[in-house]
Amino acid sequence: MKNTLPASRTPHRTQSGSDVLAGEVRYGAAKSFWFSAMLVASVIGGAATISAAAVLLFVTSTGAVLLLGHSLGNHRKLIHNSYACPKWFEYLLVYLGVQVGLAGPLGLMRQHELRDFAQRQARCHAYLRHGGGMLTDAWWQLHCELALARPPAIDIEASIANDRFYRFLEYSWMLQQLPVALLFYWWGGWAFVYWGVCARVAAGVAGHWLIGYLAHNHGALHVTVRGAAVQGRNIRFTSLLTMGECWHNNHHAYPGSARLGLRPGEWDPGWWTLRLLERAGLVWDLVLPADLPCRAELAPCAPRCDTA
Protein backbone atom coordinates (compact mmCIF):
# COMPACT_ATOMS: atom_id res chain seq x y z
CA MET A 1 0.00 0.00 0.00
CA LYS A 2 1.64 3.23 -1.12
CA ASN A 3 1.99 5.88 1.54
CA THR A 4 0.36 9.18 0.54
CA LEU A 5 0.31 10.85 3.93
CA PRO A 6 1.84 14.28 4.50
CA ALA A 7 5.11 14.22 6.38
CA SER A 8 3.52 15.51 9.58
CA ARG A 9 1.21 12.48 9.67
CA THR A 10 3.94 9.89 9.12
CA PRO A 11 5.36 8.74 12.48
CA HIS A 12 9.12 8.42 12.29
CA ARG A 13 9.28 5.00 13.98
CA THR A 14 6.77 3.22 11.73
CA GLN A 15 7.48 2.17 8.17
CA SER A 16 4.79 2.58 5.52
CA GLY A 17 4.01 0.08 2.78
CA SER A 18 2.06 -2.21 5.12
CA ASP A 19 -1.58 -3.08 5.76
CA VAL A 20 -3.26 -2.08 9.03
CA LEU A 21 -6.72 -3.21 7.93
CA ALA A 22 -6.45 -6.96 7.31
CA GLY A 23 -5.89 -8.95 10.47
CA GLU A 24 -7.35 -11.34 13.04
CA VAL A 25 -8.09 -10.73 16.72
CA ARG A 26 -6.81 -13.70 18.72
CA TYR A 27 -7.05 -14.63 22.37
CA GLY A 28 -3.87 -13.67 24.22
CA ALA A 29 -3.46 -16.14 27.06
CA ALA A 30 -0.64 -14.34 28.91
CA LYS A 31 -2.27 -10.93 28.59
CA SER A 32 -5.66 -12.27 29.72
CA PHE A 33 -4.21 -14.21 32.66
CA TRP A 34 -2.21 -11.21 33.88
CA PHE A 35 -5.22 -8.90 33.98
CA SER A 36 -7.67 -11.55 35.23
CA ALA A 37 -5.36 -12.66 38.04
CA MET A 38 -4.85 -9.10 39.23
CA LEU A 39 -8.57 -8.36 39.01
CA VAL A 40 -9.66 -11.50 40.87
CA ALA A 41 -7.00 -11.04 43.55
CA SER A 42 -7.99 -7.41 44.07
CA VAL A 43 -11.71 -8.19 44.31
CA ILE A 44 -11.48 -11.24 46.58
CA GLY A 45 -8.38 -10.32 48.56
CA GLY A 46 -9.25 -6.66 48.67
CA ALA A 47 -12.74 -7.30 50.00
CA ALA A 48 -11.35 -9.57 52.72
CA THR A 49 -8.68 -7.10 53.88
CA ILE A 50 -10.22 -3.69 53.27
CA SER A 51 -9.11 -0.90 55.58
CA ALA A 52 -8.70 2.85 55.39
CA ALA A 53 -4.92 2.50 55.23
CA ALA A 54 -5.09 -0.05 52.40
CA VAL A 55 -7.47 2.08 50.35
CA LEU A 56 -5.29 5.15 50.93
CA LEU A 57 -2.28 3.18 49.72
CA PHE A 58 -4.22 2.16 46.60
CA VAL A 59 -5.20 5.76 45.82
CA THR A 60 -1.76 7.27 46.39
CA SER A 61 0.26 4.52 44.67
CA THR A 62 -2.09 4.41 41.68
CA GLY A 63 -2.01 8.18 41.32
CA ALA A 64 1.78 8.26 41.59
CA VAL A 65 2.46 5.65 38.91
CA LEU A 66 -0.17 7.09 36.55
CA LEU A 67 1.16 10.64 36.90
CA LEU A 68 4.91 10.17 37.13
CA GLY A 69 5.21 6.82 35.38
CA HIS A 70 2.63 6.53 32.64
CA SER A 71 1.88 10.14 31.74
CA LEU A 72 5.28 11.80 32.30
CA GLY A 73 7.62 8.82 31.89
CA ASN A 74 6.23 6.50 29.24
CA HIS A 75 4.00 8.82 27.25
CA ARG A 76 5.30 12.38 27.29
CA LYS A 77 9.00 11.46 27.59
CA LEU A 78 9.84 8.02 26.22
CA ILE A 79 7.28 7.91 23.39
CA HIS A 80 7.02 11.58 22.37
CA ASN A 81 10.22 13.05 23.87
CA SER A 82 8.36 16.26 24.62
CA TYR A 83 10.85 17.46 27.23
CA ALA A 84 14.45 16.89 28.31
CA CYS A 85 15.70 15.60 31.65
CA PRO A 86 18.71 13.79 33.18
CA LYS A 87 18.97 10.13 32.19
CA TRP A 88 18.66 8.91 35.76
CA PHE A 89 15.41 10.82 36.16
CA GLU A 90 14.08 9.41 32.87
CA TYR A 91 14.91 5.90 34.13
CA LEU A 92 13.05 6.57 37.38
CA LEU A 93 9.94 7.82 35.58
CA VAL A 94 9.90 4.93 33.11
CA TYR A 95 10.36 2.43 35.94
CA LEU A 96 7.31 3.91 37.63
CA GLY A 97 5.53 3.56 34.30
CA VAL A 98 6.27 -0.17 34.31
CA GLN A 99 4.51 -0.30 37.69
CA VAL A 100 1.22 0.54 35.97
CA GLY A 101 1.31 -3.03 34.67
CA LEU A 102 0.53 -2.47 30.99
CA ALA A 103 3.73 -3.75 29.36
CA GLY A 104 7.46 -3.25 29.20
CA PRO A 105 8.73 0.11 27.89
CA LEU A 106 9.68 -1.21 24.44
CA GLY A 107 6.49 -3.20 24.04
CA LEU A 108 4.43 -0.20 25.08
CA MET A 109 6.23 1.97 22.52
CA ARG A 110 5.53 -0.55 19.76
CA GLN A 111 1.86 -0.74 20.71
CA HIS A 112 1.61 3.03 20.73
CA GLU A 113 3.43 3.50 17.43
CA LEU A 114 1.31 0.87 15.66
CA ARG A 115 -1.94 2.35 16.94
CA ASP A 116 -0.94 5.92 16.11
CA PHE A 117 0.23 4.94 12.64
CA ALA A 118 -2.97 2.99 11.95
CA GLN A 119 -5.27 5.73 13.18
CA ARG A 120 -3.64 8.24 10.84
CA GLN A 121 -4.38 6.12 7.77
CA ALA A 122 -7.63 6.44 5.85
CA ARG A 123 -8.76 3.03 7.17
CA CYS A 124 -7.56 0.64 9.86
CA HIS A 125 -8.71 -2.43 11.76
CA ALA A 126 -11.48 -1.87 14.32
CA TYR A 127 -9.15 -3.17 17.06
CA LEU A 128 -6.74 -0.29 16.40
CA ARG A 129 -9.45 2.39 16.40
CA HIS A 130 -11.54 1.06 19.29
CA GLY A 131 -14.36 0.58 16.82
CA GLY A 132 -15.93 -2.73 17.83
CA GLY A 133 -18.41 -1.47 20.42
CA MET A 134 -17.74 -1.09 24.14
CA LEU A 135 -18.11 -4.73 25.28
CA THR A 136 -16.30 -6.12 22.26
CA ASP A 137 -13.52 -3.59 22.65
CA ALA A 138 -13.12 -4.45 26.34
CA TRP A 139 -12.67 -8.12 25.46
CA TRP A 140 -10.29 -7.32 22.62
CA GLN A 141 -8.09 -4.87 24.49
CA LEU A 142 -7.96 -6.65 27.85
CA HIS A 143 -7.77 -10.28 26.71
CA CYS A 144 -6.76 -10.43 23.04
CA GLU A 145 -4.03 -9.50 20.55
CA LEU A 146 -4.29 -8.35 16.94
CA ALA A 147 -2.38 -10.36 14.33
CA LEU A 148 -2.08 -8.21 11.20
CA ALA A 149 -1.52 -10.00 7.89
CA ARG A 150 1.10 -7.43 6.84
CA PRO A 151 2.10 -5.44 9.93
CA PRO A 152 4.29 -2.36 9.58
CA ALA A 153 7.90 -2.50 10.70
CA ILE A 154 8.46 -0.43 13.83
CA ASP A 155 12.01 0.81 14.28
CA ILE A 156 12.71 2.16 17.73
CA GLU A 157 15.81 4.32 17.81
CA ALA A 158 18.94 2.52 18.99
CA SER A 159 19.40 4.84 21.96
CA ILE A 160 16.21 3.35 23.42
CA ALA A 161 16.03 -0.12 21.83
CA ASN A 162 19.60 -0.99 22.85
CA ASP A 163 19.47 0.61 26.27
CA ARG A 164 20.37 -2.08 28.81
CA PHE A 165 18.00 -0.77 31.49
CA TYR A 166 15.05 -0.67 29.11
CA ARG A 167 15.85 -4.11 27.77
CA PHE A 168 15.98 -5.41 31.34
CA LEU A 169 12.59 -3.89 32.11
CA GLU A 170 11.18 -5.27 28.87
CA TYR A 171 11.71 -8.93 29.75
CA SER A 172 11.07 -8.51 33.48
CA TRP A 173 8.20 -6.01 33.57
CA MET A 174 5.74 -8.38 35.28
CA LEU A 175 8.36 -9.41 37.84
CA GLN A 176 8.92 -5.75 38.75
CA GLN A 177 5.75 -5.95 40.84
CA LEU A 178 7.48 -8.41 43.22
CA PRO A 179 9.85 -5.96 44.96
CA VAL A 180 6.94 -3.61 45.57
CA ALA A 181 4.75 -6.48 46.79
CA LEU A 182 7.45 -7.56 49.25
CA LEU A 183 7.86 -4.01 50.52
CA PHE A 184 4.11 -3.58 50.96
CA TYR A 185 3.79 -6.98 52.67
CA TRP A 186 6.52 -6.01 55.13
CA TRP A 187 4.80 -2.68 55.68
CA GLY A 188 1.15 -3.73 56.02
CA GLY A 189 0.66 -7.42 55.32
CA TRP A 190 -1.56 -8.95 52.65
CA ALA A 191 -3.97 -6.01 52.71
CA PHE A 192 -1.26 -3.74 51.32
CA VAL A 193 -0.35 -6.32 48.68
CA TYR A 194 -3.94 -6.76 47.49
CA TRP A 195 -4.66 -3.03 47.46
CA GLY A 196 -1.22 -1.62 46.67
CA VAL A 197 -0.30 -4.08 43.90
CA CYS A 198 -3.22 -6.16 42.60
CA ALA A 199 -5.89 -3.45 42.74
CA ARG A 200 -3.46 -0.84 41.44
CA VAL A 201 -2.53 -2.94 38.40
CA ALA A 202 -6.13 -3.99 37.69
CA ALA A 203 -7.32 -0.38 37.90
CA GLY A 204 -4.45 0.89 35.77
CA VAL A 205 -4.97 -1.65 32.98
CA ALA A 206 -8.77 -1.40 32.96
CA GLY A 207 -8.66 2.39 33.22
CA HIS A 208 -6.21 2.65 30.36
CA TRP A 209 -8.61 0.65 28.16
CA LEU A 210 -11.70 2.62 29.24
CA ILE A 211 -10.18 6.05 28.62
CA GLY A 212 -8.79 4.80 25.29
CA TYR A 213 -12.24 3.61 24.24
CA LEU A 214 -14.00 6.82 25.31
CA ALA A 215 -11.29 9.07 23.85
CA HIS A 216 -11.84 7.57 20.38
CA ASN A 217 -15.64 7.36 20.46
CA HIS A 218 -17.14 10.05 22.72
CA GLY A 219 -16.31 13.56 23.83
CA ALA A 220 -15.52 16.99 22.45
CA LEU A 221 -14.02 17.33 18.99
CA HIS A 222 -12.35 20.73 18.52
CA VAL A 223 -9.88 19.80 15.79
CA THR A 224 -10.04 17.04 13.18
CA VAL A 225 -7.18 15.45 11.30
CA ARG A 226 -8.30 15.29 7.68
CA GLY A 227 -8.17 11.82 6.17
CA ALA A 228 -7.53 10.01 9.46
CA ALA A 229 -9.44 6.80 10.25
CA VAL A 230 -10.29 7.96 13.76
CA GLN A 231 -10.25 11.21 15.70
CA GLY A 232 -9.16 11.72 19.28
CA ARG A 233 -11.72 13.29 21.61
CA ASN A 234 -11.46 15.30 24.79
CA ILE A 235 -13.08 13.58 27.79
CA ARG A 236 -13.91 16.35 30.23
CA PHE A 237 -14.42 15.55 33.93
CA THR A 238 -11.70 12.87 33.90
CA SER A 239 -8.70 15.19 33.80
CA LEU A 240 -7.62 14.58 37.41
CA LEU A 241 -8.15 10.82 37.18
CA THR A 242 -6.11 10.58 33.97
CA MET A 243 -3.45 13.15 34.90
CA GLY A 244 -4.41 15.16 31.80
CA GLU A 245 -4.26 12.24 29.37
CA CYS A 246 -8.00 12.65 28.69
CA TRP A 247 -7.41 15.62 26.34
CA HIS A 248 -6.96 13.24 23.45
CA ASN A 249 -8.30 15.52 20.73
CA ASN A 250 -5.56 17.98 21.64
CA HIS A 251 -3.03 15.15 21.62
CA HIS A 252 -4.06 13.95 18.15
CA ALA A 253 -3.61 17.49 16.87
CA TYR A 254 -0.28 18.13 18.61
CA PRO A 255 1.20 14.73 19.59
CA GLY A 256 4.63 16.15 20.41
CA SER A 257 3.35 18.67 22.94
CA ALA A 258 4.28 18.23 26.60
CA ARG A 259 1.10 20.10 27.46
CA LEU A 260 -2.15 18.25 26.78
CA GLY A 261 -4.72 20.58 28.33
CA LEU A 262 -4.55 23.55 25.96
CA ARG A 263 -7.73 25.56 26.59
CA PRO A 264 -8.98 27.36 29.71
CA GLY A 265 -10.46 24.86 32.12
CA GLU A 266 -8.61 21.88 30.62
CA TRP A 267 -6.87 20.73 33.78
CA ASP A 268 -3.61 18.93 33.10
CA PRO A 269 -1.87 17.62 36.25
CA GLY A 270 0.93 16.20 34.11
CA TRP A 271 1.71 19.67 32.77
CA TRP A 272 1.48 21.24 36.23
CA THR A 273 3.99 18.67 37.48
CA LEU A 274 6.34 19.34 34.57
CA ARG A 275 6.30 23.05 35.33
CA LEU A 276 7.18 22.34 38.98
CA LEU A 277 9.95 19.99 37.89
CA GLU A 278 11.19 22.67 35.48
CA ARG A 279 11.48 25.15 38.33
CA ALA A 280 13.41 22.53 40.29
CA GLY A 281 15.82 22.10 37.37
CA LEU A 282 14.89 18.45 36.73
CA VAL A 283 13.29 19.01 33.30
CA TRP A 284 13.78 21.57 30.56
CA ASP A 285 13.03 22.27 26.88
CA LEU A 286 9.31 21.60 27.29
CA VAL A 287 7.68 21.36 23.84
CA LEU A 288 4.46 23.27 23.16
CA PRO A 289 2.21 23.29 20.06
CA ALA A 290 3.87 26.51 18.87
CA ASP A 291 7.19 24.64 18.73
CA LEU A 292 5.84 21.96 16.38
CA PRO A 293 5.70 22.02 12.55
CA CYS A 294 2.51 23.43 11.03
CA ARG A 295 -0.02 20.74 10.07
CA ALA A 296 -2.11 21.74 7.06
CA GLU A 297 -4.37 18.71 7.53
CA LEU A 298 -5.81 20.04 10.81
CA ALA A 299 -9.32 21.45 10.51
CA PRO A 300 -10.48 23.87 11.65
CA CYS A 301 -7.19 25.71 12.11
CA ALA A 302 -7.18 26.05 15.88
CA PRO A 303 -5.17 28.89 17.40
CA ARG A 304 -1.78 27.78 18.61
CA CYS A 305 -1.60 27.38 22.37
CA ASP A 306 1.84 28.69 23.22
CA THR A 307 1.09 29.85 26.73
CA ALA A 308 3.82 28.66 29.08
pLDDT tens track for 201-247? 999 999 999 999 999 999 989 999 988 989 999 999 999 999 999 99
Query: What is the band of 76 on the pLDDT scale with cuts at 50, 70, 90?
Result: very high
Query: What is the band of 298 on the pLDDT scale with cuts at 50, 70, 90?
Result: confident
pLDDT digits (tens, 9 = 90+) for 106-128: 999 999 999 999 998 889 999 99
d(CA 82, CA 162): 21
pLDDT of 94 strictly over 90: yes
CA 7 to chain centre: 24
pLDDT digits (tens, 9 = 90+) for 149-177: 999 889 999 999 999 999 999 999 999 99
- Residue of 179, 9, 31 lying closest to 108 (CA atoms): 31
124 neighbors 20 (Cβ within 8 angstroms): yes
pLDDT value of position 301: 44
- Residue of 30, 236, 218, 19 lying closest to 133 (CA atoms): 218
Mean pLDDT of the chain: 91
pLDDT value of position 51: 97
pLDDT of 303 strictly over 70: no
pLDDT of 101 strictly over 90: yes
Sign of CA dihedral 241, 242, 244, 246: negative
d(CA 29, CA 254): 35
Residue 156 lies in a domain: yes
d(CA 294, CA 88): 33
pLDDT value of position 17: 63
Could you list the beta-strand ranges (E) of the chain. 19-27, 144-150, 224-225, 298-299
pLDDT of 42 strictly over 50: yes
Residue 237 lies in a domain: no
Mean pLDDT calculated for residue range 187-214:
97
> Angle at the Cα of 264 (from 261 to 266), degrees rounded to 5?
35
Residue 34 lies in a domain: yes
DSSP 192-217: HHIIIIIHHHHHHHHHHHHHHHHTTT
Residue 272 lies in a domain: no
Mean pLDDT calculated for residue range 50-78:
97
Residue 224 lies in a domain: no
Q: Render the burial of 219-231: b for 16+ CB within 10 Å, e for the rest.
A: beeebbbeebbbb
pLDDT value of position 14: 80
Residue 183 lies in a domain: yes
Measure the N-to-C terminal CA separation of the chain; round to a whole number of Å. Answer: 41
d(CA 46, CA 49): 5
State the DSSP code for 242: H
pLDDT value of position 23: 93
How many domains does the structure of the chain reveal? Answer: 1
pLDDT of 19 strictly over 90: no
Indicate the pTM of the whole model: 0.90
Radius of gyration of the chain (CA): 19
pLDDT value of position 43: 97
State the DSSP code for 121: S
Domain residues for the domain of 145 are 17-208+281-288
pLDDT of 95 strictly over 60: yes
Mean pLDDT calculated for residue range 267-288:
97
Give the C-alpha distances (Å, rounded to integers) separating 281 from 80, 92, 95, 150, 305. Answer: 20, 16, 20, 45, 24
Residue 116 lies in a domain: yes
- Residue of 285, 253, 243 lying closest to 96 (CA atoms): 243
